[in-house]
């Protein structure tokens, strides 16, 4: 479990201070040590293929990437430490439907400079049938080294 002040700070930063996250309506629904879960309510403008219809891959990857970054932030010991995406690999497994999108991130390893995070996106009640899975690699910049 992470301290309440870190939980509140990460939620506030991810939901309110990043304009793109706010535009997409990302909500942090869980934070734990090296873990995060986000939800995004469906909106018609998130459709990427109107003939299926299916969620746009950019929406899915954006939510996964942001969720991965939040999971990394929960492992940092200083509010001044920073994390940024170095590499993101997403495998799209099935079309996303006109439903809430859930993203989960689990830090596989966080070193002094780099963190590797496992990612998964799915619809409510269908965690065992992911829409997309992936791996994010994040650079960690320690405030004490800046």
Confidence (pLDDT) at 66:
97
Range of the domain at 8: 4-145
Q: Can you give the pLDDT at residue 7?
A: 83
10 Å CB burial of residue 99 (0-12, 13-18, 19+) is middle
Domain count, the chain: 1
Mean pLDDT by 10-residue block, N- to C-terminus, for the chain (146 residues)?
80 94 97 96 96 96 97 85 94 97 98 96 97 97 76
Q: pLDDT at position 44, please?
A: 96
CATH code where residue 73 lies = 3.10.129.10
3-class SS of residue 121: strand
Q: What are residue 23's DSSP bridge partners? A: none
The pLDDT, as a whole number, for residue 9 is 85
Predicted pLDDT at 146: 57
Q: Which of 36, 46, 50 is nearest to 2 (CA)?
A: 36
Task: Check residue 81 and give its pLDDT.
Answer: 83
Query: For residue 135, what pLDDT is reported?
Result: 98
Q: Among residues 141, 7, 134, which one has the least CA distance to residue 70?
A: 7
Strand ranges, E, within 9-100: 27-32, 35-40, 47-49, 54-55, 82-92
């Amino acid at each position: 479990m992470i301290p309440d002040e870190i939980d509140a700070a990460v939620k506030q930063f991810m939901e309110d201070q990043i304009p793109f996250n706010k535009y997409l309506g990302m909500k942090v629904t869980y934070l734990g040590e090296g873990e995060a879960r986000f939800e995004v309510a469906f909106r018609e403008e998130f459709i990427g293929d109107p003939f299926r219809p299916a969620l746009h891959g950019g929406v899915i990857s954006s939510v996964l990437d942001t969720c991965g970054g939040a999971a990394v932030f929960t492992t940092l010991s200083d509010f001044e430490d920073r994390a940024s995406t170095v590499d993101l690999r997403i495998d799209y497994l099935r079309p996303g439907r006109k439903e809430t999108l859930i993203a989960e991130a689990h830090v596989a390893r966080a070193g002094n400079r780099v963190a590797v995070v496992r990612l998964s996106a799915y619809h409510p009640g269908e965690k065992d049938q992911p829409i997309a899975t992936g791996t994010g690699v994040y650079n960690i910049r320690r405030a004490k080294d800046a």
